[in-house]
Structure 1
Amino acid sequence: MPLVVGDIMKLLCSVSEARKMKAAVKHSGRGALVTGAVAFVGGLVGGPPGLAVGGAVGGLLGAWMTSGQFKPVPQILMELPPAEQEKLFNQVTAIVQNLEWTDAVQLTMLVMGSEALQQRLLTLLVGYITKELQAEVQYGD
């Protein structure tokens, strides 16, 4: 049966939901900008001591801004642009092409029943998220 991009996205959502995967895109550039801006203002207001205090406060603020912004992977997958979904579709198709199935529900059941297939899809998904989306992956609650 021919595969449809939406079916593959649902399959990946099922696999990532089962592992309670979340991902956070790192905004290190924004954190560095905040750190530098607060240090600069501290230096203008308080001279050298203000620069030190501003750098410390800015560093803490920058770290706080860039942490804890995790979203569920299924949500991220469904929000991907069509071109990125197509890229994932092609990679997943290479993994599941030899399976015998009649519809997307049966394909999902086959994958969810096989730890080896789940692991292959998870490896692919984590690789995609870390390389293409430059995000950090977290499992569990």
Structure 2
Amino acid sequence: MPVMVEDIMGLLCSVSEGKKMKAAFKHSGKGALVTGAVAFVGGLVGGPPGLAVGGALGGLLGAWMTSGQFKPVPQILMELPAAEKQKLFRKATAIVGHLDWTDIVQLTALVMGSEALHQQLLALVVNYITTELRAEIQYGD
């Protein structure tokens, strides 16, 4: 049976849903921009002491703005561009290509029933999220 990209993406979503995986993208550039802007304004308004206070407040504001922006990994996977889905598809089919299945439900059951396959696909997703997307992964609620 020909394997469809959306079937494999659904399988990867099921694997990541089981661990309740979420990912946060690191927006360090945005945080640095906010920190610098607030420090600059503080320096204009209050001179050297204003610069110090503005830098501290800007740093806190930048950190607050960039923290806690977690999205469910299945949502991230389904929103990937077609080229990225194809890349994940090729890597996942290398893992599950030897299995004999007729539909995505059966494939999912086979993978969930095999700890080795489940762990391989989970490692694939984690590796992709952390290296390709440069995101931080969080498990659970």
TM range (shorter): over 0.9
- Which consecutive unaligned segments of at least 5 residues does structure 1 have? none
CA distance in 2, matches of 1:139, 1:103: 28
User: Identity rate of aligned residues, in percent?
Assistant: 80
Write the letter of the residue equivalent to 1:95: I
Query: Which residue number in structure 1 is paired with residue 110 of structure 2?
Result: 110
CA distance in 1, matches of 2:46, 2:118: 57
Query: Which residue number in structure 1 is paired with residue 11 of structure 2?
Result: 11
CA distance in 2, matches of 1:62, 1:118: 38
CA distance in 2, matches of 1:54, 1:113: 55
How much has 1:100 moved relative to structure 2?
1.5
- Which consecutive unaligned segments of at least 5 residues does structure 2 have? none
Name the SS for the 2:24 alignment partner.
Answer: strand
Query: Which residue number in structure 2 is paired with residue 46 of structure 1?
Result: 46
Query: Which residue number in structure 2 is paired with residue 67 of structure 1?
Result: 67
TM-score between the two structures when normalised by the length of structure 2: 0.98
Query: Which residue number in structure 2 is paired with residue 26 of structure 1?
Result: 26
How much has 1:99 moved relative to structure 2?
1.1
Name the SS for the 1:137 alignment partner.
Answer: strand
Write the letter of the residue equivalent to 1:30: K
Q: Which runs of 4+ in 1 moved over 4 A?
A: none
Deviations 1:19-45 (A, max 9, x none): 000001110000000001100110110
